[in-house]
Copies of this chain bind each other. A is one copy, B any other.
Amino acid sequence: MELYAEGGFEHTTVAEIAARAGLTERTFFRHFADKREVLFSGAVAFREFLVAEVDAAPPDVPPLEVVTAAFSSASDAFFEERRDLVRGRQAIIDANVELQERERIKMASVASALADALHLRGVGEPAAGLAAEAGVVVFTIAFDEWVRAAGGTTLSERIWALIEELRALTAASAPGARHRR
């Protein structure tokens, strides 16, 4: 990560990364499919944490709340105490379109895993998919605000505030729209 920040992602070779980490290139490729994967090494743990939170939620909690609470806990567990590190990683991703695509793919797999976890709780479609995708949207926007902010509000607080904002947006739009058409 330091190397990506120093020399730019494109100009950093796997040989340099491996050397900095005290690994051979061969060992590097045993752990990561390519040099992009280094930046996403926490993605599987993040996804599994979220799914475990959904699995552990009491049965009567409604789907979007389950998803939101999972993102809120994951924010505390993965990000809140490491804003500088997370910010450094984000700056690298922001500077590279390929990495942004990779990040989008990872979040799509998070949404799909969350929808599956909701199915196991007996949530049907379209509620499960919609709650999962809406949760990912809310988390992504909250994360984006948080990583760029100087301090103050926690990521978890931002997530809950955005759910409230989404509630307000849907409350303002849906019924009126149906009548006006």
Contact = CB atoms under 8 A, between A and B. Distances in A.
Contacts of A104: 101, 104-105, 108
B169 A173 contact: no
Contacts of A167: 170-171, 173-175
A171 B127 CA distance: 13
A178 B141 CA distance: 19
A141 B126 contact: yes
What is the interface residue range for chain A against chain B? 35 or more
A149 to B, nearest CB: 12
Contacts of A137: 130, 133-134, 137
Given A137-B137, A170-B170, A162 B62 contact: no
A117 interface: no
A176 interface: yes
Given A101-B101, A133-B137, A137-B133, A164 B174 contact: yes
Given A130-B141, A171-B171, 5 more contacts: A62-B172, A65-B173, A127-B169, A130-B165, A133-B137
B126 A162 contact: yes
Interface string A150-181: 00000000001011111101111111111011
A84 interface: no
Chain B CB count within 10 A is highest, among A72, A166, A171, for: A166
